[in-house]
Structure 1
Amino acid sequence: MTAPGTSTTNIAEDSAHIGVQAGTVHGDVHTYMMSADASPEEKFELGVRFLDGGRTGRAWTLIDEAVMNGYSTDRAHFYRLLALVSGRTRRELSKEEVAALGNAQSRRPVTGDDEWAEGLTVVHRLLDSAQRPEADLRVLTKEIDALGARQHTLILRHLESFLEGPLKDQVWRQAWTLAEAERMAGSRVDRVWKFFQPTPARPRAREPRPVVIPPSIWVQAVAATAVFAAATVHIGYLLVQAGRISALLAYLLSVIGGFFCARDGAEWRFRVVRRRAKDKTYGTARQRESNAPPGGFVRNVDRRFDYYFAKYVPRGVDREVWLAATAGIRRSMRDEVVEVYRETRVGAERFAWLIRHRVGEVRAHWEKGTLWSYREELATPPTTKAVAVLGFAALVAGGIWAMGGAVSADPLSAARSALLVAAGGWIAARAWLRIVLERRRHAADALEYEQNQKADEAAFTRWRAKLADKPGDGEMATWLDCDRKMLLNKALRHYRLKMSNVIAHAFIEAPASSARARVRGGPWRYKKYQLLLFLLTADGIRQLTATLDVERGSLHVRQRANYRFEVVAAVRVSQADDGGRTFELTLVNGEDVRLRVLEPGMEELQQGELPGTVSEATLDASGIHHTLHVLEGIAAEGKEWIRNTDAKGAA
């Protein structure tokens, strides 16, 4: 015997620990969902989708139920036969399934003359010829080739294991050729990654803080302005009454100067305050520990900001410099995203595109040299400063001159008015400045909000358009089936076997990546897999282990092992307390083959899903049930299992 290794074998070693991460669930896709009062036709169509998704057991149940309830068409019977025998040999059928197959074949319900009727006729002939070595292969091959593209593909995909002898070799060659042609079809490399992207959430931004002016400020502004105006008019009245022409001209100069001082001074102040606020946002933030719980919403947002800022580093810039310089921006953006999405019950993965977009904009501004351009835009022009200073000078100088004239005319009355002008003007100026700055702040915030919303909506539209051709679960299953055939062909070539030399073969798929996604009611699909292939031949078992990169379609064989049937001591799937499932194959010498087929935390249920359905769907699609059926028989009976199943198949 060639043993799998010299020590305990753990196939999952290459992928290390995958970890528990929330996967993407396409809850808006209802490929595998059905209403409680579904009609036989609806059940049949759902069964077809299950068959396309690689879940033959569930497909057979639904299609058979639909046919038994009256949905009897050539297409329905065609799919019914495929679902019953898909991926299995005649040896692997139970007595009940053999009876069901015989019953289905004896009826031969070919009622039409369309492509489905032709496909059903060919399926019947293939199944009949499976036990007749004298069958004319040339005629059967021509009939298969003459079928429509859909029927031809389905027969090659689902019947290649069930046939025997030269016919099995002939159909396998066609099935492998078709798989080789289709495994990278449909722009696979450009589209697979999209399956793992969630439906994007619409962009949200922090709305501008509304204008907040306490009533007391309005009272101060109005009352102080009234007092100031009355006192100012009274001083002018005293000057006119006393005939102080020069003082009156100075008085008018101070009024004009006060106007320009207030107008340009407010503009100057707004620019200073606005730039300080921007500096506070864009300035370097002191790094602080996050108190968010691991796996929580805030921590997930933090991780994505950290990831994208670390990834999108401007060209020619050291990463540490980039991260230090943008720490304040990162903190501000993170706080905003947390605030606007926290109560929406939207997972961070659904607006990760928005984080990526905004980080990309920060990098673009850095590379253009416009990240801190606001400092120049908000810098107060020298003319504004000059007008404000000159206006203030005119106000003070003219006011002193005018007050001198008024005091000489009526000292007591002028002094009282001067005091009211000073007090009222100071209070009114402060109140009105606060009002003006608050209104200007809101207007500036609203303009930035509108600009950001337009940019975010444009990015959202582009992202949705990019994901528009996201592959469906059936397409993912088809590509995976083609990959399995590629691995099977590698094994046949390596061991110099024909397909007819293989008594049975079985696959197990296990995750080799934490990136996973599924549709509602469907199994988890992964970006990377560990594939375990068992070939049962007359000489024993051939075992291959390979890693599969689904996105690139690359297969790498990592391990090969050969052993006799008699050395298989036990095979089982153990379940851990955390919900994880591990496939275990034990040999009589104590060596183990272990493969983690189901990670913990997989039951992320959506509306309409029952507990256990997700893990069961994933296990079903992984091939574990079929593999257990084959290997458990070997472990229990050894080579006798083959003789017993041969006898059962012949019967």
Structure 2
Amino acid sequence: MTGPEQRVTNSADGSARVGVQAGVVHGDVNNYTVSPDAAPEEKFRTGLRYLEGGMARRARELIYAAFAAGHRTDEVWFHWLLALVSGRTRHELSDEETASLRAEPGGLRRAGDGAWMDGVRTVRRLLNCAEDPRADLRAVFKELDALGETQKALIVRHLGTFLEGPLHDQMWDRGLARARREWRARNRSGRCWKFFEPEPLAPRPYEPPPPRTPSVVLARVTAPAAVTGALALSLGSTLLTSGRLLGFLGYLVGLVGCYRTLREVMARRLRAALRDPVRPAPRRTPAGGFARKVDKRFLHYFAKYTPPGMERGVWMEMTAGVRQKIRDEIVHTYRESRVGVGRIDWLIRYRVSEVRERWRNGPPEPPAPSSAAMLGAVALLTVGAVAILTDAAGDAIAALLTTAVAAAFTVRVGLDIAMEHRRHAIERRESRRMLAADQAAFLRWRQKLADRPQDREMAAWLDCDRKILLNDALRHYKLAMSEIIAYGFIDFPAPATSRARVRGGPWRYRDYEIMLFLLTRDGVRQVTTELDFEVGEFSGGQRANYRFESIAAVRVRQTAGQPWTFELSLVNGQHITIPVDGLGVEELQQGEVPGTVAEATLDAAGVHHTLHMLEGIAASGKRWGDRAR
């Protein structure tokens, strides 16, 4: 190993890394699922999707199965040739696979206008030129450039690793030029993040809890209310039958005043309750449970959406009541559905943003009751009482006082019951309003996610990133592509990153750590860097150099309860151990076969090819490099 440039940490404690987050699986996308008894053409089309997704191993299996079952077209043969060599060097092929490259299959049918057969001929000429140093490269590349855009792009993408010498240089130049054009094409930064968003769950109506009126309270108010009603009727009857018209008119005015006074009192109490909601008691929720995850999302978004100019602590304190109320509603509505909190993340975010918008437009204030209305109600009540006292006899006055005492006791308890029913009516009305607003927000969010990239686009962007990184390494080491004996990548998730996949497909990550290994005449060059996949930007970077004879062993392994690790052992006893959390995680959906997701992820990450290359160096040293050349 070299000295000054060596900046790789020799070991990494797995406990020091934060594992990748729970993944998103787009279960409605079935690009990579095919039944064993599927028709040959269906197997072929699925194999094509594997090839586009950067998983050549599985692509070879399916395309060959389709061909062997009788689906023999020039399109199938073209893709079979590319799948054989994609991401591999010449010595990785078995004798049977090498023979397949040279074989002339019989019974081929033309698919389309003959463009696929033109592609087959060009691939075979390129492979022949790789073995003939006297071949006319200008002629074969002229033939390549004359192909259709589809065939040319596929050849440039999949054939590069397999070629050698000047042929490799020219193919590399074309591949790099294409990578630079497509690196951030198709609005990558504006669409890539959507792949990691789960399919949103539609809003559901929230049914507020019914009025809380215990039977004991009802019993306490029923008898006084009956007595009050009977006394009030008796008082009115007494005034009417005794001919006390002024007193009876006062009685009627007093009833109106009593009703309006009670209504104004209740309005003021409701306003106070809405302005200053009761601070809920802290809730203890199980760690890792649905409610705890909802709590974390609410805290995150309320902190994120703090109004400008307001301190975060003040905002969190002021909104504690409404935050708990909305949180309880969402937990109550969605808890029993066994959905991941990610699927309602849009709803939490929208509800929090609405609270902030309402606050920015002025703190939400319930309509202020009119002071004049309250004074008028009290005035009516007073006038009625005075009229009765002025015109009534002693027995009527006694009845009035008795009725007033009974009414006071009834109102004391009954007002709470009326308030509770009024609360329920207001909450039901607010729930209907929020459901309509939630549905509109849901449709907007669905529309925003409508152009979510397909898995093949994610694979194509990653392939471009690899080429950009490889070109940077070649420039740093001042090497031409023809001076590289072989190269390989291992892509693994960065700590605490988001991940997502389609059904049956490999995990894709929002942030990667990428290791690039270059085999040259002087040994192995290793580059390790971080990739922000959403925008295709690299950051950081570590480099190390090894002599061929320095590598003793290399492997990717997993022990019980521990993350997968990449281990590179050197002959001097040093070990480079890097946890590659997430490569072996599957989180299978219904119908998925155990092992298929992990295998697809390892294949897409380049693990198989790179391990084959490094294991060859560990076993044979420089002789492996000489044999590869």
TM-score calculated relative to the size of structure 1: 0.88
Q: 1:395 aligned to 378, 384, 388, which one?
A: 384
Q: Does 179-188 or 306-315 show the bigger shift?
A: 306-315
Equivalent residue for 2:432?
450
Q: Secondary structure at the residue paired with 1:198?
A: coil
- Residues 193 and 534 of structure 2 are in contact (CA less than 8 Å); yes or no, is this contact kept in structure 1? yes
Q: What is the CA-CA distance between 1:578 and the residue it aligns to?
A: 2.1
Task: Provide the identity percentage.
Answer: 48
Once the two structures are superposed, the pairs formed by residues 188-337 of structure 1 within 5 Å of their partners are 188-204=188-204, 206-210=206-210, 227-228=230-231, 230-240=233-243, 247-262=244-259, 264-281=260-277, 288=282, 291-337=284-330
Quickly say closer, same or farther: Cα 1:402–1:43, change in 2 above 3 A. Answer: farther
Q: What is the CA-CA distance between 1:5 and the residue it aligns to?
A: 6.7
Q: What is the CA-CA distance between 1:99 and the residue it aligns to?
A: 3.0
Once the two structures are superposed, the pairs formed by residues 585-600 of structure 1 within 5 Å of their partners are 585-599=568-582
Supply the distance in 2 between the matched residues of 1:434 and 1:567 (Cα, whole angstroms).
Answer: 83
> Counterpart of 1:465 in structure 2: which amino acid?
Q
> Counterpart of 2:176 in structure 1: which amino acid?
W
Once the two structures are superposed, the pairs formed by residues 5-16 of structure 1 within 5 Å of their partners are 9-10=9-10
Q: Please say if 1:465 is aligned against 2:447.
A: yes
Quickly say closer, same or farther: Cα 1:291–1:261, change in 2 above 3 A. Answer: closer
Equivalent residue for 1:76?
76
- Residues 254 and 397 of structure 1 are in contact (CA less than 8 Å); yes or no, is this contact kept in structure 2? no
Once the two structures are superposed, the pairs formed by residues 566-645 of structure 1 within 5 Å of their partners are 566-578=549-561, 580-599=563-582, 602-644=585-627
Q: How many residues align?
A: 624
Q: What is the CA-CA distance between 1:51 and the residue it aligns to?
A: 0.9
Equivalent residue for 1:508?
490
Q: Give deviations 1:489-542, integer Å, cap 9, x for gaps.
A: 112222222222222111001111421111121111111111111111232212
Supply the distance in 2 between the matched residues of 1:15 and 1:187 (Cα, whole angstroms).
Answer: 37
Supply the distance in 2 between the matched residues of 1:257 and 1:482 (Cα, whole angstroms).
Answer: 85
Supply the distance in 2 between the matched residues of 1:469 and 1:254 (Cα, whole angstroms).
Answer: 71
* Pairwise CA RMSD: 2.9
> Counterpart of 1:589 in structure 2: which amino acid?
N
Q: Does 210-219 or 527-536 show the bigger shift?
A: 210-219
Supply the distance in 1 between the matched residues of 2:532 and 2:169 (Cα, whole angstroms).
Answer: 28
- Residues 486 and 519 of structure 2 are in contact (CA less than 8 Å); yes or no, is this contact kept in structure 1? yes
> Counterpart of 1:527 in structure 2: which amino acid?
R
Q: Secondary structure at the residue paired with 1:161?
A: helix
Equivalent residue for 2:471?
489
TM-score calculated relative to the size of structure 2: 0.91
Q: Does 503-512 or 391-400 show the bigger shift?
A: 391-400
Q: What is the CA-CA distance between 1:108 and the residue it aligns to?
A: 9.0
Q: Give deviations 1:313-344, integer Å, cap 9, x for gaps.
A: 11111112212222222222222222111111
Quickly say closer, same or farther: Cα 1:11–1:114, change in 2 above 3 A. Answer: farther
> Counterpart of 1:367 in structure 2: which amino acid?
R
Q: What is the CA-CA distance between 1:477 and the residue it aligns to?
A: 0.8
Q: Secondary structure at the residue paired with 2:206?
A: coil
Q: Secondary structure at the residue paired with 2:594?
A: coil
Quickly say closer, same or farther: Cα 1:623–1:84, change in 2 above 3 A. Answer: same
> Counterpart of 2:351 in structure 1: which amino acid?
R
Q: What is the CA-CA distance between 1:210 and the residue it aligns to?
A: 4.1
Supply the distance in 2 between the matched residues of 1:142 and 1:217 (Cα, whole angstroms).
Answer: 98
Q: Secondary structure at the residue paired with 2:535?
A: coil
Supply the distance in 2 between the matched residues of 1:238 and 1:189 (Cα, whole angstroms).
Answer: 87
Supply the distance in 1 between the matched residues of 2:134 and 2:524 (Cα, whole angstroms).
Answer: 29
Q: Give deviations 1:106-164, integer Å, cap 9, x for gaps.
A: 55946353322322222222223221222222222122222222211111110011122
Equivalent residue for 1:533?
516
Q: What is the CA-CA distance between 1:643 and the residue it aligns to?
A: 4.5
Equivalent residue for 2:365?
373
- Residues 584 and 598 of structure 2 are in contact (CA less than 8 Å); yes or no, is this contact kept in structure 1? no
Quickly say closer, same or farther: Cα 1:182–1:10, change in 2 above 3 A. Answer: farther
Quickly say closer, same or farther: Cα 1:10–1:270, change in 2 above 3 A. Answer: farther
Quickly say closer, same or farther: Cα 1:203–1:177, change in 2 above 3 A. Answer: same
> Counterpart of 1:258 in structure 2: which amino acid?
L
Supply the distance in 2 between the matched residues of 1:488 and 1:421 (Cα, whole angstroms).
Answer: 94
Supply the distance in 1 between the matched residues of 2:430 and 2:445 (Cα, whole angstroms).
Answer: 22
Q: Secondary structure at the residue paired with 2:201?
A: coil
Supply the distance in 2 between the matched residues of 1:317 and 1:420 (Cα, whole angstroms).
Answer: 56
> Counterpart of 1:111 in structure 2: which amino acid?
R
Supply the distance in 2 between the matched residues of 1:135 and 1:558 (Cα, whole angstroms).
Answer: 40
Quickly say closer, same or farther: Cα 1:110–1:162, change in 2 above 3 A. Answer: farther
Supply the distance in 2 between the matched residues of 1:117 and 1:267 (Cα, whole angstroms).
Answer: 87
Quickly say closer, same or farther: Cα 1:321–1:428, change in 2 above 3 A. Answer: closer
> Counterpart of 1:266 in structure 2: which amino acid?
L
Q: Secondary structure at the residue paired with 2:302?
A: helix
> Counterpart of 2:255 in structure 1: which amino acid?
G
Supply the distance in 1 between the matched residues of 2:581 and 2:462 (Cα, whole angstroms).
Answer: 17
Supply the distance in 1 between the matched residues of 2:225 and 2:418 (Cα, whole angstroms).
Answer: 14
